[in-house]
Amino acid sequence: MHKLLIDSPDKEMLLLGNEAIARGAIEAGIAVATCYPGTPSSEIPDNFFTMFKEGGFYFEYSTNEKVALEVAAGAAISGVRSICTMKHVGMNVASDTLMTLAYLGVNAGMVIINADDPLMFSSQNEQDNRYYARLSGLPMIEPKNAQEMKDMTVDAFDLSEQLKLPVVLRTTTRLNHLRGMVKFGQIRQIKSKGFFKKDPFHYVAIPAVSRNLHKMLVEKYDQALELSENSEYNQIIGNGKWGIVTNGVSLSYVQDAVNDLGIGDKVTILRLGFSYPMPENMIVKFLTRVEKVLVVEELEPVMENDIRSIAQSKEIVIPIKGKEKDLFSRLFEFDPGMVRRTIASYFGVPDTSPEVVDVTGIPDLPGRPPNLCAGCPHRAMYYAIKQVYGPDAVHPSDIGCYTLGVLPPLSMADIVICMGASVGTSCGISKATDQKVVSFIGDSTFFHAGIPALINAVHNNHKFTLVILDNGTTAMTGNQPHPGVDTTPMGVDTTQLSIESMVRGCGVEHVQVVNPLQVKKSIEAAKVSKDFDGISVIISKELCPLYARAIKKAKKARPFYVNQDKCKQHLDCINLLACPAMYIDDGKTMINEVFCIGCTVCAQVCPENAILPLKKLA
């Protein structure tokens, strides 16, 4: 049995934050779960995927976050509990749906898991999605540790049913990827069939209906506020004169700091776990007890501004500080030491932090950026394009493993914004300039957000080449399937779509499909695309070797070595291809046979035919 399905209340387990959320969903008796993967949220749906059959609920990896949200909304409006998970930028994609779904509301519990990523461990920006609660009017809750990630998920469903609104549970990377003790609770029976009750004056958001719905949403705010005032997740802790307001994982930094500094009797902490609507009465009560306030929140001054406005409306005049030079920054992640130091300096107590060792003697260390794996087919395609187009072509790129091609010596990404933007920006750049444009998009990203832009390119006669890097999986986020993947080996019944047919269906007439590991043929395809005056697509089709290994489809191959008698030190293999299995030792080009997967590409690139297979299998 999947460990998250074990029906023994009070069992304790060390769980990843994301596992705790998945367990919470199980305890809440979800009927439908949807997602589009994205770090740091991916382990939630990945756990759903490995247990949904056994667990008796429906799960899908949806094409993108907007679709995922709509699927979950349809289910919850039809009366069954649903959950939808995404990373913070996924919320942007889903936001059109989100804003009006808030008007419609739901009939059974619906929870949206939103994972923010302060410091951008694995994201293109660090937007603060607490603003989405304010923008949409949906309630937001923020757990502090693994146990609460489980408990709050369960409670969020009840809250959602009380308010008949989707509830947003917001996490940050630290919470998603911590492991902590979680005590299980009871598993609720799943209600898996609902019924869609027609009510066009509620569910058809035309202006006449929406005017009414918006009024209802505004009224629900008061109801939500009442629940927030009485929520166990909002707490005033202590009764000192120094006030500290905090949320999420920052609560643990604050509590540790207060202990370390020995100021427990001087401090009152206001912890906001049900953080939108903000519990106004509780905040007023807190403000009247303290002399000055420090707001400890990562990213934007969201609570700080709200609390200031509450103070102003009640004519409470005390210092309320947070984001300020010498206090907290709007940038990046917090850490316990930084929070301790800031609390110490704001309240004027001696700082107890240990001194960091003197690191001035450490030499400049070589960088260790993440890199395309040895034998990655993306690298082979980049090589072919570079050979044909040279260094001057512009390469809009997209988000996935292949973005790592930005690193020298490949240097094959010139502009990256968000999923799907490679195609749209190619349209603009090719229209605005006389430069050649060859853009790159991954297969999962193509399905997610590339298709409307490709249709745009065809319809408006744009001229560029789009390379679809079809590695048969969503590699970056952990090999989730997408619409182009055959899921039969995973024991799941979905329909596989052909990217080539999709591209032709978008109206592209010039389509080539190549195996990037065949270097000559790939170069040939690149040349043909270069000579074509219009929109053309190259589908670069070869499984991600890591994924191939995982699904036991890896071809047996022999690792390669460099024959030192033949090698003339052109270094083409290293300077143009830069497979990380290669290295230079004592002036000689070498291949690490443990890392080499025998993809043969370097052997095809070497002008001296000096790279040869070893006798044994990799």
Partner 1 sequence: METKRIVFVGVGGQGNLLASRLLGEACLSAGIPAVVSEIHGMAQRGGIVESAVVMGYATSPIVSKGEADILIGFEPSETLRALNKCNKDTVVITNIRPLPPFTVAIGQGVYPDIDKSLDLIRDNVRSLIALDGDELAEKAGNPLSLNMVMLGALVGSKVIPLDEDILKETISKTTKQTFLESNLKAFDFGVAASRVG
Ligand X SMILES: Cc1ncc(C[n+]2csc(CCOP(=O)(O)OP(=O)(O)O)c2C)c(N)n1
Give the residue among 420, 451, 403, 399 at the shortest CA–CA distance from 93. Answer: 420
> Would you count residue 338 as binding partner 1 (CB under 8 A)?
yes
What does residue 94 show for φ and ψ, rounded to 5 degrees? -85, -5
- As measured in angstroms, the least distance from the Cβ of 413 to ligand SF4 is 14
Which residues here bind ligand X, judged by CB under 6 A?
Answer: 36-38, 65, 87, 89-90, 93, 399-402, 419, 442-445, 469, 471, 473-477
- As measured in angstroms, the least distance from the Cβ of 38 to ligand SF4 is 15
Nearer to partner 1, 311 or 404 (CB): 404
Nearer to partner 1, 492 or 574 (CB): 574
Residue count, binding to ligand SF4 (CB under 6 A): 24
Q: Which helix (H) or strand (E) holds 609?
A: none
Q: 133-171: b or e for each residue (b if 16 or more CB lie within 10 Å)? A: beebbbbbbbbbbbbbbbbbbbbbbebbbebbbbbbbbb
> Would you count residue 506 as binding ligand SF4 (CB under 6 A)?
no
- As measured in angstroms, the least distance from the Cβ of 602 to ligand SF4 is 3
Q: How far, in Å, CA of 61 to CA of 478, rounded? A: 13
Quick one: what does residue 601 bind among ligand X, partner 1, ligand SF4, none, with the CB cut-off 5 to 8 Å set by partner type? Answer: ligand SF4
Nearer to partner 1, 78 or 479 (CB): 479
Q: Taking the CA atoms of 57, 60, 65 and 67 in sequence, report the sign of the dihedral they define.
A: negative
> Would you count residue 273 as binding ligand SF4 (CB under 6 A)?
no
3-state secondary structure of 191: coil
Quick one: what does residue 444 bind among ligand SF4, partner 1, ligand X, none, with the CB cut-off 5 to 8 Å set by partner type? Answer: ligand X
3-state secondary structure of 192: coil
> Would you count residue 206 as binding partner 1 (CB under 8 A)?
no
Name residues contacting ligand SF4, limited to 366-385 (CB under 6 A): 372-376, 378
Do you find a cis peptide bond into 200, omega within 30 degrees of 0? no
User: Do 299 and 315 touch, CB atoms closer than 8 A?
Assistant: no
Q: Which stretch binds ligand SF4 (CB under 6 A): 67-75, 238-246, 283-291, 592-600?
A: 592-600
Quick one: what does residue 600 bind among ligand X, ligand SF4, partner 1, none, with the CB cut-off 5 to 8 Å set by partner type? Answer: ligand SF4
Nearer to ligand SF4, 6 or 546 (CB): 546
User: Do 447 and 483 touch, CB atoms closer than 8 A?
Assistant: yes
> Would you count residue 579 as binding ligand SF4 (CB under 6 A)?
yes
Residue type at position 15: L
Binding track, positions 151-190, relative to partner 1; x by CB under 8 A: ----------------------xx--xxxxx---------
Query: Encoding tokens for residue 375?
Result: 């034998």
The DSSP 8-state label assigned to residue 360 in this structure reads T
Q: Which stretch binds ligand SF4 (CB under 6 A): 90-98, 356-364, 409-417, 540-548?
A: 540-548
> Would you count residue 76 as binding partner 1 (CB under 8 A)?
no
- As measured in angstroms, the least distance from the Cβ of 119 to ligand SF4 is 22
Residue count, binding to partner 1 (CB under 8 A): 63
The label of the residue with tokens 């293109």 reads 124
- As measured in angstroms, the least distance from the Cβ of 534 to ligand X is 24
Do you find a cis peptide bond into 483, omega within 30 degrees of 0? no
The label of the residue with tokens 């643990």 reads 252
The label of the residue with tokens 């000689």 reads 588
> Would you count residue 587 as binding partner 1 (CB under 8 A)?
no
- As measured in angstroms, the least distance from the Cβ of 61 to ligand SF4 is 17
Q: How far, in Å, CA of 173 to CA of 115, rounded? A: 7
Residue type at position 268: T
Give the residue among 144, 185, 177 at the shortest CA–CA distance from 273. Answer: 144
- As measured in angstroms, the least distance from the Cβ of 381 to ligand X is 11
- As measured in angstroms, the least distance from the Cβ of 530 to ligand X is 24
Do you find a cis peptide bond into 409, omega within 30 degrees of 0? yes
User: Do 87 and 478 touch, CB atoms closer than 8 A?
Assistant: no
Q: Which stretch binds ligand SF4 (CB under 6 A): 25-33, 445-453, 491-499, 574-582?
A: 574-582
CB-based contacts of 232, cutoff 8 Å, min separation 6: none
CB-based contacts of 567, cutoff 8 Å, min separation 6: 588, 589, 608, 610
Query: Encoding tokens for residue 99?
Result: 């804003």
User: Do 221 and 276 touch, CB atoms closer than 8 A?
Assistant: no
Quick one: what does residue 560 bind among ligand SF4, partner 1, ligand X, none, with the CB cut-off 5 to 8 Å set by partner type? Answer: ligand SF4
Name residues contacting ligand SF4, limited to 420-479 (CB under 6 A): 471, 475
Interface ranges with partner 1 (CB under 8 A): 12, 14, 16, 39-40, 42-43, 121-122, 145-146, 173-174, 177-181, 249, 251-253, 255-256, 259, 335-338, 353-359, 361-373, 401, 404, 408-409, 476-477, 546, 574-575, 578, 580, 582-584
Interface ranges with ligand SF4 (CB under 6 A): 372-376, 378, 401, 471, 475, 544-546, 560, 579, 581-582, 591, 596-602
